[in-house]
Amino acid sequence: MAVELRKIIHIDMDAFYASVEQRDNPALRGKPVVVGGNPDSRGVVATCSYEARRYGVRSAMSCARAYRLCQRIVFVRPRFDAYQKVSQQIRAIFHQYTDLVEPLSLDEAYLDVTINKPGIQSATWIAQEIRQKIYKETGLTASAGVSYNKFLAKIASDVKKPDGLTVVTPEQAGQFIAQLPIRRFHGVGRVTEVKMKWLGILTGADLREHSLPELEKNFGKSGKYYFDIARGIDQRLVVPNRVRKSIGKETTLREDIADRGQMLTVIGALAKRVAAMLQAKKTSGLTLTLKVKYSDFQIVTRSISCETPLENADEILSLVEGLLCKTQAGEKSVRLLGVTISKLTTEIPAEKIAQMELPFPC
């Protein structure tokens, strides 16, 4: 029986925040630009222009380190409203083609265009049209990956960044996956990468040589996922407008940090991103959770519930410091930080919110 293959596009804006800054301030064009904190404080790089990447600057690196790598870097503060606006513009373009749009962040989404509104046969053609429309309407470039599942489309969108398009056909998939270093596989984090290398798995081809029982023995439930993706199999659907139970953001730090001030800067950036996401979803939430993963990989979470819904970064920040104090962060160094808002008001009827008398454990 012939299996009908899907047509999936993954779109990701190039150096998103930095490109918006360069667009809006011509003096920044062609220059190494970092969006984030200050080089003389404990700021962290949210992102940087491709000019800055040539010097080795990367997201999540401390701004001080970025400055050491390139002293010509111009440091710019983020303007979330501007990013939000572009995000709405690109989503409107996606919906001209399909409502099967699954946004992953402000600048990134999956589209299932197997059946699409204009009735275009070629997903590659659609991806090119979308990239052109994005450029015309926003003045910004996006890269796209086109394939028959999410896994391949996402990796493909990264291949010719910036301003590129990569197609992986079913015929090409085997070869494409075989040469991929395993760290490029979505879902393979730093820990798994180390373990895979220890097992002699460096590329997709190596992964493919391991049997399902072997992979399950070493990676538990994820073993089946790795087994499948090594063969180009990924059945995950593009799920539009997921009903979210929480909105959060976490970041694995490029280097472990032990300084609380530095942690608060990272948390501040996370709080701003979470607040922007809450605004985009027109929601707010009653519970704030801080997640901390120490250098020894132990994970702890600390939560606080409020009477009135949290919706902006300042409200989140004012509470999150207290939560950090309830962890051992600082005594122990930290490799990951996360901020999540749950009990979203969109899930709770308005009259219930008014009645609620939640404890305020502070």
Task: Note the residues at the interface with ligand DCP (CB under 6 A).
Answer: 12-17, 46-47, 59-60, 105, 107-108, 161-162, 251, 273
Residue 69 interacting partner from ligand DCP, Mg ion, none (CB closer than 5 to 8 Å by kind): none
CA distances from 4 to 114, 149, 170, 174, 181 (A): 10, 12, 12, 18, 29
- CB-based closest residue to Mg ion: 12
Q: Is 16 in the site for Mg ion (CB under 5 A)?
A: yes
Residue 46 interacting partner from ligand DCP, Mg ion, none (CB closer than 5 to 8 Å by kind): ligand DCP
Q: Is 12 in the site for Mg ion (CB under 5 A)?
A: yes
Q: Based on CB atoms, which residue is closest to ligand DCP, 120 or 159?
A: 159
Q: Based on CB atoms, which residue is closest to ligand DCP, 162 or 240?
A: 162
Residue pointed to by tokens 């709080």: 271
Q: Which stretch binds Mg ion (CB under 5 A): 6-14, 22-30, 117-125, 344-352?
A: 6-14
Q: Which stretch binds Mg ion (CB under 5 A): 20-28, 100-108, 307-315, 347-355?
A: 100-108
As measured in angstroms, the least distance from the Cβ of 11 to ligand DCP is 10
**Contacts with 325 (C-beta within 8 Å, 6 or more apart), sequence order:** none
CA 210 vs. chain centroid, Å, equals 29
CB–CB of 241/330 below 8 Å? Answer: no
Tokens representing 101 are: 């749009």
Residue 251 interacting partner from Mg ion, ligand DCP, none (CB closer than 5 to 8 Å by kind): ligand DCP
As measured in angstroms, the least distance from the Cβ of 116 to ligand DCP is 24
Separation between Cα atoms, residue 289 and residue 50, nearest integer Å: 34
Q: Based on CB atoms, which residue is closest to ligand DCP, 93 or 215?
A: 93
Name the region of 181 (left: φ>0; alpha: ψ -120 to 50; beta: rest): beta
Q: Based on CB atoms, which residue is closest to Mg ion, 165 or 306?
A: 165
As measured in angstroms, the least distance from the Cβ of 255 to ligand DCP is 13
From 21, 51, 102, 108, the catalytic residue: 108
Q: Which stretch binds Mg ion (CB under 5 A): 14-22, 176-184, 278-286, 346-354?
A: 14-22
Neighbours of 239 (CB within 10 A): 12
108 is catalytic: yes
Among 21, 51, 102, 107, binds Mg ion (CB under 5 A): 107
Neighbours of 351 (CB within 10 A): 8
As measured in angstroms, the least distance from the Cβ of 296 to ligand DCP is 22
Separation between Cα atoms, residue 172 and residue 275, nearest integer Å: 41
Q: Based on CB atoms, which residue is closest to ligand DCP, 20 or 288?
A: 20
Three-state DSSP class for residue 217:
helix
CB–CB of 26/36 below 8 Å? Answer: no
Q: Based on CB atoms, which residue is closest to Mg ion, 90 or 334?
A: 90
Q: Is 13 in the site for Mg ion (CB under 5 A)?
A: yes
DSSP for 16-74? HHHHHHHHH-GGGTTS-EEEES-TTTT-BEEEE-HHHHTTT--TTSBHHHHHHH-TTPE
Neighbours of 25 (CB within 10 A): 13
CB–CB of 272/313 below 8 Å? Answer: yes
Residue 294 interacting partner from ligand DCP, Mg ion, none (CB closer than 5 to 8 Å by kind): none
As measured in angstroms, the least distance from the Cβ of 15 to Mg ion is 7
Please identify every residue annotated as catalytic.
108
Binding stretches for Mg ion (CB under 5 A): 12-13, 16, 107
